[in-house]
């Protein structure tokens, strides 16, 4: 009988291991890991074209996830899509004249709804409607190659923390590298939407070895390659004082949406439009 | 002559498939009766499932690692190495996980089930059970079949988890893709229903049914000689492999 | 135990085969075969190889069905029994396979305990007692912990016998119980067959070739050839009934009614001398 029991125990362990693996796959490696489970309220938006937008796609403000797409149906009798967005309760200060746009996160990425805040004093309530929308753009056909690849971030020797505010972090994600002159010097520690100032508060963990960064340096969100992820580039300033732990970087430059960029290319027909947003340093040096 | 013999092969294959289907019905009918032999099912689950873990884990790890390596190489051309985690996960969940696990399972557990049942026939153990008023379908065939059907999805999940780990090992630890990028891109793109449920679960359940059915059927119907058993194990691998890859295509077409 | 189920307890024959005709692969194995197996006796069934002796046992246990004729076991027509009734009947029949057919997954103890575990919910203590008693009866109580692969042929057959009698059956069918045994093991098995029959009154059917061994235990012998009973009687008289079959079989002659030559055409034709026959 002990032989039988040992089979039963071993088999039980095997089954537990299998289900543990399944649980891991389902919750840690899929969009479930991102989906917020907190209380939410529903907002409606009508789009002329939703492109590849799917249910449960993220809704972002300044690049930070604030909710997800709840349902997509065709408006009865109209040629527009009725998209319901479930927004987290804690982000309840969205102006009711905000603009909802369908963006693509990277070339291969899925589409998401980006919300750009308006100026109205009134905020959206449950069941409200985002009246201003911009439909999805069909990107894929327009694109070619872009910049080079990223580098390696290593965290030997500890790090210190610096804050930066961006009006839009684009597809920047936690853990993305922080680079100076193309070399990784740290990583993004956290990204949060500021419910009051309505921008993205990004915390950067910078390696202790690089403790001589001038405190008037600028932080910019760049994209490493078209398909690639975004990273934070630090452009050193001229101040004699160095950034210290907990400091906030004053000069920031937000992520450019690929749509905006391409729109500029297409409209201006020359690269002269690029420096307008591209800033003072050459982002494509690496 | 060749026409006649090829017709023969078609007819024989068809009749084999027919017999196989009838055998499945017999087993399904015997499932209630085999419930009293649940201990035997547990024991078989140990043999076909737990004993296959090592090979599944090692292979999963290496498949994930080689995927990480290859994808990094290709994606770096487009400056998209940050998508490595996403593509590793999708490739493993949708195709490599269920298919490679099923092929390994057919080779590791399927053949041993076929050989075991074939030898039980050759040594009259099956007949002895009939004589002891024990239904061999309920006692021999069904527990092994059920064990295979249960084990396959679990093994596939383990394979996938190890594959992701292997991809992470190569991509992040070795080639230096950023850790946060690796995971956030993966979680942004991989979906539970489309990738995990449709890819990992459904496919592996279907493969589990097919591979176990073929293995048990071949063992049960083989001529009770050493030659017959040898042929039956070969046929299990060949038939399972073809069935897995063909069904993979069909399932992909339906589940996409 | 048998009385409550038995339909005709007064019937002296436990197994009654009437007009059994079986065709296998186009070959007529049995041609209107009639056989009676008397209760409480040891009946031997002999015959040249390939005469379907094992097939006959399979008919008795309902593993095979004849094309015509009937097989009655303890008052039941085997062919008409439902699956459950057939299994019920089989629980009362012990069957000793030619190659013992022990379950290779289990040790000796579990092999003997197998039918008990499958058909009863007896407490472990009781199962243990029954199994050890049966193993003691075949002289292998000490081997309870061995695996079937560790047993010699004779020991394996004795374990199989212990398993066959674990339910105290009314009938035991021995399929070639002496094949491949050395003289010592053969005599041990022989002794067991006789003991089981005498002490428990178990009806026994013995399929075998070993004339000397059978003469020692059998009460009645059937000689089957070409699908028919060609001779029968007790061991002392059967060899002298004068038929060519018995003379060849018991005398061990190479040629006779069972031809030395497998049926073939004229040798001269096969060798390419057509003229000789023309």
pLDDT tens figures, C7-62 = 444 567 888 888 888 888 878 888 888 888 888 889 999 887 777 888 888 888 88
Q: Which residues of B touch A175 (CB under 8 A)?
A: 178-181, 183-184
pLDDT digits (tens, 9 = 90+) for A39-61: 788 888 888 777 777 777 778 88
pLDDT digits (tens, 9 = 90+) for A4-48: 567 888 888 999 999 999 988 888 887 777 665 567 888 888 887
Best of B37, B128, B138 to disrupt the C interface by mutation (most C CBs within 10 Å)?
B128
pLDDT digits (tens, 9 = 90+) for C193-202: 888 888 888 8
Say how far apart CA A278 and CA A253 lie, in whole Å.
9
Binary contact (A175, B43; C-beta < 8 A): no
Structure tokens at B213: 């059915």
Select from A30, A149, A150 the Cβ nearest to the Cβ of B191. A30
Q: Which residues of B touch C65 (CB under 8 A)?
A: none
Angle between helices B203-221 and B142-168 (to 10 degrees): 140
With 90 as the cut, is the pLDDT of residue B96 above it?
yes
Binary contact (B130, C97; C-beta < 8 A): no
Give the domain ranges of chain B.
Answer: 2-255
Residue B226, helix vs strand vs coil: helix
Q: Looking at the complex, report in whole angstroms how far the Cα of residue B169 sits from the nearest Cα belonging to chain A.
A: 15
Strands (E), chain A: 40-47, 58-61, 64-74, 81-88, 99-104, 111-116, 128-130, 132-134, 159-166, 177-180, 183-193, 200-207, 218-223, 230-235, 248-249, 251-253
| Beta sheet of A128-130, edge-to-edge order | A128-130, A40-47, A81-88, A64-74, A58-61, A111-116, A99-104, A132-134
With 70 as the cut, is the pLDDT of residue B223 above it?
yes
Q: Percent of chain C having pLDDT more than 70?
A: 94
Cβ-in-10-Å burial (0-12, 13-18, 19+) of B181 comes to: buried
Q: Looking at the complex, report in whole angstroms how far the Cα of residue B5 sits from the nearest Cα belonging to chain A.
A: 46
Binary contact (A225, B188; C-beta < 8 A): no
With 90 as the cut, is the pLDDT of residue B158 above it?
yes
Binary contact (C95, B131; C-beta < 8 A): yes
Q: Is B239 on the interface with C (CB under 8 A)?
A: no
Q: Which residues of B touch A145 (CB under 8 A)?
A: 78-79
Most confident segment among A211-225, B208-222, C133-147, C224-238: B208-222
Binary contact (B133, C115; C-beta < 8 A): yes
The DSSP annotation for C236-254 comes to HHHTTS--HHHHHHHHT-S
Binary contact (B133, C88; C-beta < 8 A): yes
- Kindly report whether the global pTM for this prediction surpasses the value 0.95: no
With 90 as the cut, is the pLDDT of residue A106 above it?
no
Residue C26, helix vs strand vs coil: coil
With 60 as the cut, is the pLDDT of residue B130 above it?
yes
Range B228-237 average pLDDT:
92
With tokens 């339909």, the residue in question is C7
* Interface subset of B 183-242, CB within 8 angstroms of A: 183-192, 195-196, 200-201
With tokens 């989906």, the residue in question is A35
pLDDT digits (tens, 9 = 90+) for B235-249: 999 999 999 999 999
Give the domain ranges of chain C.
Answer: 2-252
Q: Looking at the complex, report in whole angstroms how far the Cα of residue B202 sits from the nearest Cα belonging to chain C.
A: 33
Are B84 and B177 within 8 A, CB to CB?
yes
On the CB side of A189, CA atoms within 13 Å amount to 16
Q: Looking at the complex, report in whole angstroms how far the Cα of residue B132 sits from the nearest Cα belonging to chain C.
A: 6
With 50 as the cut, is the pLDDT of residue A141 above it?
no
Structure tokens at C141: 């109580």
pLDDT of residue A150: 36
Are A66 and A40 within 8 A, CB to CB?
no
Q: For chain B, give the mean pLDDT.
A: 89
Q: Which residues of C touch B135 (CB under 8 A)?
A: 87
With 60 as the cut, is the pLDDT of residue B103 above it?
yes
Lowest mean pLDDT of A183-187, B37-41, C105-109, name the range.
A183-187
With 70 as the cut, is the pLDDT of residue B100 above it?
yes
Q: Percent of chain A having pLDDT more than 90?
A: 3
pLDDT band per the 50, 70, 90 thresholds, residue A98? confident
Between residues A201 and C276, which one has the greater pLDDT? Answer: A201
Range B188-211 average pLDDT:
89
With tokens 């591209």, the residue in question is A278
Strands (E), chain B: none
User: For A204-223, b where at least 16 C-beta lie within 10 A, e where not — what string?
Assistant: bbbbeebeebbbebbbbbbb
pLDDT of residue A144: 36
pLDDT of residue A280: 41
Say how far apart CA A184 and CA A207 lie, in whole Å.
9
pLDDT band per the 50, 70, 90 thresholds, residue B3? low
Binary contact (A30, B188; C-beta < 8 A): no
Between residues A103 and B115, which one has the greater pLDDT? Answer: B115
With 70 as the cut, is the pLDDT of residue A1 above it?
no
Binary contact (B154, A187; C-beta < 8 A): no
Q: Which residues of chain C are at the B interface, by a Cβ-Cβ cutoff of 8 Å?
A: 61, 63, 87-88, 90-91, 93, 95, 97-99, 101-104, 114-115, 118-119, 160, 163
Binary contact (A224, B79; C-beta < 8 A): yes
Q: For chain A, give the mean pLDDT.
A: 74
Binary contact (A30, B195; C-beta < 8 A): yes
pLDDT of residue B93: 92
Select from B119, B125, B132 the Cβ nearest to the Cβ of C118. B132
Structure tokens at B87: 């593509």
Select from C93, C97, C114 the Cβ nearest to the Cβ of B124. C97
User: CB neighbours (10 Å) of residue A30?
Assistant: 24
Q: Is B26 on the interface with C (CB under 8 A)?
A: no
Binary contact (C95, B125; C-beta < 8 A): no
The DSSP annotation for A34-62 comes to T---S-EEEEEEEES--TT--TT-EEEET
Question: Within chain C, where are the H helices?
Answer: 2-5, 53-60, 83-90, 108-119, 124-137, 153-164, 183-200, 211-217, 235-238, 244-251, 267-271
Binary contact (A30, B79; C-beta < 8 A): no
Q: For chain C, give the mean pLDDT.
A: 82
Binary contact (B181, A173; C-beta < 8 A): yes
Range A175-203 average pLDDT:
83
Q: Is B42 on the interface with A (CB under 8 A)?
A: yes
Are B110 and B155 within 8 A, CB to CB?
no
Range C211-222 average pLDDT:
85
| Fold (topology level) of C2-252 | Rossmann fold (3.40.50)
Say how far apart CA A191 and CA A65 lie, in whole Å.
9
pLDDT digits (tens, 9 = 90+) for A236-273: 888 888 888 888 887 888 777 666 666 666 665 444 43
Say how far apart CA C247 and CA C25 lie, in whole Å.
30
On the CB side of C263, CA atoms within 13 Å amount to 2
Binary contact (C114, B132; C-beta < 8 A): yes
pLDDT of residue B238: 94
Q: Is B132 on the interface with C (CB under 8 A)?
A: yes
Are A65 and A58 within 8 A, CB to CB?
yes
pLDDT band per the 50, 70, 90 thresholds, residue A154? very low
Q: Which residues of B touch A177 (CB under 8 A)?
A: 178, 181
Partners of chain C (3+ Cβ pairs below 8 A): B
pLDDT of residue C224: 86
Binary contact (B133, C98; C-beta < 8 A): no
- Give the residue from A243, A247, A164 showing the smallest Cα distance to A201: A164
- Chain-centroid distance, C-alpha B157: 12
pLDDT of residue A258: 66
Q: Which residues of A touch B178 (CB under 8 A)?
A: 150, 153, 175-177, 187, 229
With 80 as the cut, is the pLDDT of residue C254 above it?
no
User: CB neighbours (10 Å) of residue B194?
Assistant: 17
With 60 as the cut, is the pLDDT of residue A279 above it?
no
pLDDT of residue B216: 95
Structure tokens at C183: 């003289």
Cα C67 to Cα C28, C49, C59, C64: the distances in Å are: 10, 22, 11, 10
Q: Looking at the complex, report in whole angstroms how far the Cα of residue B223 sits from the nearest Cα belonging to chain A.
A: 31
């Amino acid at each position: 009988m002990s032989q039988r029991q040992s089979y039963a125990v071993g088999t039980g362990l095997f089954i537990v291991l299998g289900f543990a693996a399944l649980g891991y796959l389902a919750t840690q490696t899929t969009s479930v890991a991102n989906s917020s489970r907190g209380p939410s309220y529903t907002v409606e938006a009508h789009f002329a074209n939703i492109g590849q937008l799917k249910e449960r796609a993220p809704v972002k403000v300044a690049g930070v996830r604030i909710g997800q797409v709840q349902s997509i149906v065709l408006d009865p009798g109209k040629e527009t899509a009725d998209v319901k967005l479930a927004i987290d309760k804690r982000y309840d200060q969205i102006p009711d004249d905000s603009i909802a746009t369908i963006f693509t996160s990277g070339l291969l990425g899925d589409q998401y709804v980006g919300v750009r805040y308006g100026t109205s004093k009134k905020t959206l309530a449950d069941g409200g409607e985002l009246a201003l929308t911009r439909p999805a753009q069909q990107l894929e056909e327009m694109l070619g190659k872009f910049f080079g690849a990223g580098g390696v971030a290593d965290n030997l020797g500890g790090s210190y923390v610096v804050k930066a505010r961006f009006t839009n972090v684009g597809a920047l994600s936690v853990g993305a590298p922080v680079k100076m002159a193309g070399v990784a010097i740290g990583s993004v520690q956290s990204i949060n939407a500021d419910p009051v100032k309505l921008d993205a508060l990004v915390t950067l963990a910078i390696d202790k070895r690089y403790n001589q960064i001038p405190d008037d340096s600028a932080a910019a969100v760049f994209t490493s390659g078209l398909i690639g992820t975004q990273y934070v580039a630090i452009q050193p300033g001229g101040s004699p004082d160095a950034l210290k732990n907990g400091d906030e970087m004053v000069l920031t430059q937000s992520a450019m949406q690929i749509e905006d960029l391409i729109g500029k290319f297409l409209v201006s027909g020359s690269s002269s439009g690029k420096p307008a947003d591209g800033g003072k340093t050459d982002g494509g040096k690496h | 002559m060749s026409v006649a013999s090829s017709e023969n092969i078609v007819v024989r294959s068809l009749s084999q498939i027919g017999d196989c289907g009838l055998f499945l019905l017999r087993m399904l009918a015997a499932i209630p009766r085999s419930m009293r032999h649940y201990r035997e099912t547990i024991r078989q689950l140990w043999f076909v499932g737990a004993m296959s873990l090592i090979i599944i884990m090692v292979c999963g790890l290496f498949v994930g690692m080689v995927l990480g390596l290859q994808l990094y190489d290709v994606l770096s051309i487009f400056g998209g190495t940050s998508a490595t985690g996403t593509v590793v996960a999708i490739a493993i969940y949708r195709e490599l996980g269920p298919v490679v696990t099923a092929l390994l399972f057919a080779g590791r557990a399927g053949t041993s089930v076929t050989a075991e049942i074939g030898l039980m026939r050759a040594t009259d153990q099956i007949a002895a059970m009939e004589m002891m008023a024990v239904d061999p379908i309920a006692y021999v065939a069904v527990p092994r079949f059920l064990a295979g059907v249960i084990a396959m999805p679990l093994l596939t999940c383990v394979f996938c988890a190890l594959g992701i780990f292997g991809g992470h090992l190569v991509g992040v630890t070795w080639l230096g893709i950023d850790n946060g990028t690796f995971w956030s891109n993966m979680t942004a793109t991989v979906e539970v229903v489309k990738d995990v449920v449709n890819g990992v679960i459904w496919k592996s359940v279907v493969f589990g049914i097919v591979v176990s059915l073929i293995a048990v059927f071949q063992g049960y119907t083989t001529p009770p000689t050493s030659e017959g058993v040898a042929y039956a194990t070969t046929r299990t691998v060949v038939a399972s492999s073809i069935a897995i890859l063909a069904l993979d295509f069909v399932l992909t077409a339906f589940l996409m | 135990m048998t009385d409550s189920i038995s339909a005709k307890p007064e019937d002296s024959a436990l197994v009654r085969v009437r007009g059994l005709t079986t065709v296998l692969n186009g070959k007529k194995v049995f041609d209107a075969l009639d056989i009676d197996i008397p209760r409480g006796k040891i009946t031997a069934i002999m015959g040249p190889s390939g005469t379907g002796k094992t097939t006959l046992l399979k008919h008795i246990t309902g593993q095979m069905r004849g094309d015509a004729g009937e097989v009655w076991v303890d008052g039941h027509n085997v062919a008409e029994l439902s699956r459950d009734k057939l299994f019920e009947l089989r629980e009362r029949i012990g069957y000793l396979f030619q190659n013992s057919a022990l379950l290779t997954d289990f040790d000796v103890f579990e092999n003997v305990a197998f039918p008990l575990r499958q058909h009863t919910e007896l407490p472990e203590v009781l199962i243990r007692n029954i199994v050890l008693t049966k193993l003691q009866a075949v002289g292998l109580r000490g081997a309870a912990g061995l695996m079937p692969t560790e047993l010699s042929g004779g020991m394996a057959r004795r374990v199989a016998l212990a398993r066959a009698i674990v339910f105290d059956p009314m009938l035991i069918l021995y399929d070639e119980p002496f094949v491949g045994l050395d003289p010592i093991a053969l005599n041990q098995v022989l002794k067991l067959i006789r003991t089981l029959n005498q002490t428990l009154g178990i009806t026994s059917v013995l399929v075998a070739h070993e004339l000397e061994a059978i003469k020692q235990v059998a009460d009645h012998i059937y000689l089957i050839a070409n699908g028919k009973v060609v001779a029968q009687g007790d061991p002392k008289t059967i060899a002298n009934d004068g038929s060519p079959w018995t003379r060849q079989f018991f005398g061990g002659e190479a040629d006779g009614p069972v031809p030395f030559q497998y049926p073939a055409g004229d040798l001269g034709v096969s060798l390419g001398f057509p003229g000789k026959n023309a």
